Chain A
Amino acid sequence: MATNSLLKQYSDERAALVQNAVSKAAAIVLGRRRVLSGIRWRDDLIVTAAEAIGGAERVGIRLDADDLEAQVIATDLTTDIALLRVNSNSANTTADATNGNPARREGSPGATPNAGVGGGSTGSNLAATSGTPRPAPSLLRVGETIAVVGRTLRGPTAIWGTIQLAGPAWSSRRGGKIDQRIELAVGFDPSFEGAAVIDTSGNIVAMAVPGPYHRVLGIPTATIETVVAKVDQFGHLPKPYIGIRLQPLWLDDDARSRLGRKTRTIAAVGGVDAGSPAENAHIELGDLLLTLDGHAAESVNDMARRIASATPGQTITLEVLRGGKPLTVSVQIGERPRH
């Protein structure tokens, strides 16, 4: 009779789903007291929350029972995504020395992540041999049941909850473009920061991070994939940059109607960095920004978001007002200097 209990079946199924995802859960040790979670995205690649990583360069990692060290290879403050690469053990230093292209083979859950690192191309056929399914590309729906699966030094942790809000793509206040607005109703604690969110098929659908007003946000898998793809392509995460400093100027009614603008403010160029793409494009101090690629440049924030979501190498068209005359400038987006 007990075997037919629906409640038991329900519980077993939930536990089994979590169990499958546990091999993907990493504990990330930042200090003696701060441990957060991460997602083992590929064999030696861990995804976690950038905000928690702060300015760290190396962190401790625990995967299953193994204590390892990982290098922070990219932090994207705009999307709160950080990528870590697990340093190989002494036995596998040669494999890691080949600039650590993500390994394609998935180790068995109990194995060291670097066992069987083969270098090779940056494939995307991950986790094919693992019990954990591939991340799902589809949009989440409000009301879906999800679990957050993380890890502490005391062992794996999990909590079930609900997709409380599933909105459209949005831009974070820091300028990151995030593919879907996801808010989770779960009992959250700091050790779940950076943990995997799985759906009822066991797919990893998001990373859980704390948001403002004690909300728990989900950073969708698609957004993480975008960051991972950029790091695969460039070896690091290039930050789009054109080299202008902007100041908002307040427009009164007269100036607004004169300029035909809806918004109260206009972004003025308050500085142009030497040798920057903006300087090469002859953007000048005092230029007022009207449009970016045809979209009205509504504010400094709006400009920041649009530039942050661009890709280095891409060319954008800016319409500026200089000396009262509109002028069109093409700027090739560069990369923010890293030293």
Chain B
Amino acid sequence: MTAPAIGDATIPAQPSLALPIRSPPRDQPSECLRGPPKVKPLAEPTGRPHGRAVSAILATADEPFRNRVRERLLAAGYDDLEVAELPAALADLLRETKQTLVIVGGTWPDPQAFLRVAVNAGALPLVLLESSALEAEGEALAMGARAALQSDIPASSLAAALAAVDAGLIVLEPSARALLLSANRDRFGTSPSPSASNSAVSGPESSHGPPPSRGATPTGPAADALTHAPRKGRPLTSRERQILGLVASGTSNKGIARALSVSANTVKFHLAAVFDKLNAATRAEAVAEAIRRGELSL
């Protein structure tokens, strides 16, 4: 393939288009995978290249389970399901369809292999469990599941859960409150069960699955999965950018408040959002990161 000439003067305002350039990798290559979830209306799922669309992927090797869940999903209006019977098939499907809603399930820990593939591909997996074990729910969340529910929930609840996960939320059973309130983090699967590393998992994933990315390792502490920070990585608002510019000029919070005719607390409120979005702990970090991201002028 021949690259277009550099001296393409017809689009002087965007010479970058004339160069064979692609976006550089970010510090966290997984950002596009685990960043703010893409909120897509269910009615318009992203289609395959050749036009066929699916609304969710049902990934499980357990046939009776699959049939039961499929019935319920059909009843809930998800009539264009894709089914993956093997983790490798799920990886291929995720690549092809760009679909992010993945339902895995069965008797824990059987769904782990599918869950891991889904998380590594940046999908939003729902785990439907056959038994009501709190440990299993905790482990599933720790691995990156966006929902951990009993497999016998009504079709309407299942549809609501799918919509919620698609909107970027995490869905749990009422009984899982204990997980959230528990101070004992060990229950959240920080010490994964031996089955978490069984060979059936690593085989298809390493050969066919998408390349595992550093930030999306499925065995992070569940706290990560639960304290999901939706603001991280989002662009700054113009007000936030204005305030950060004043921070960079060395202005105090009160000075910023005076300059913008707002209260110092408002400034602090905006700065908290800025720090959150830029993943910064200090003013200096925030300024440096904003410059790196092209959000703040030099």
B298 near A324 (CB under 8 angstroms)?
no
B15 near A324 (CB under 8 angstroms)?
yes
B230 CB to nearest A CB, Å = 24
Instruction: Give residues 34-55 of B contacting A (CB, 8 Å).
Output: none
Give the residue of B6, B24, B245, B259 whose beta carbon is less than 8 angstroms from that of A250.
Answer: B24
Q: Tell me the dominant secondary structure on chain A's binding face.
A: mixed
**Which residue on A lies nearest to B259, using beta carbons?**
A339
Instruction: Give residues 239-297 of A contacting B (CB, 8 Å).
Output: 239, 241-252, 254-255, 258-259, 264-266, 268, 270-271, 273, 276, 284-288
Q: Fill in one digit per residue for B249-266: 1 if any A CB lies within 8 Å of its CB, else 0.
A: 111111110110000000
**What residues of chain A lie closer than 8 Å to B284, measured between beta carbons?**
50-51, 77-78, 80, 174
Chain B, interface residues (CB within 8 Å), range: 35 or more
Does A13 interact with chain B (Cβ within 8 Å)? no
Q: How distant is the Cα of A71 from the Cα of B278 in the complex, in angstroms?
A: 29
Q: Fill in one digit per residue for B1-41: 1 if any A CB lies within 8 Å of its CB, else 0.
A: 00101111101111110111111110000000000000000
Q: How distant is the Cα of A273 from the Cα of B292 in the complex, in angstroms?
A: 17
B20 near A288 (CB under 8 angstroms)?
no
Q: Fill in one digit per residue for B263-298: 1 if any A CB lies within 8 Å of its CB, else 0.
A: 000011001000000000011110110011011111
A-B contact count (CB 8 A): 163
A245 near B13 (CB under 8 angstroms)?
no
A62 CB to nearest B CB, Å = 21
B294 near A51 (CB under 8 angstroms)?
no
Known contacts A77-B248, A286-B12, A241 near B291 by CB under 8 Å = no
Chain B interface residues (CB < 8 Å from chain A): 3, 5-9, 11-16, 18-25, 245-256, 258-259, 267-268, 271, 282-285, 287-288, 291-292, 294-298
User: Can you list 11 contacts pairing A with B, beta carbon distance less than 8 Å?
Assistant: A249-B24, A264-B24, A271-B294, A285-B13, A286-B13, A288-B16, A301-B292, A321-B6, A323-B9, A324-B7, A337-B245
Chain A interface residues (CB < 8 Å from chain B): 50-51, 54-57, 72, 74-78, 80, 173-175, 236-237, 239, 241-252, 254-255, 258-259, 264-266, 268, 270-271, 273, 276, 284-288, 300-301, 303-304, 307-308, 321-325, 335-339
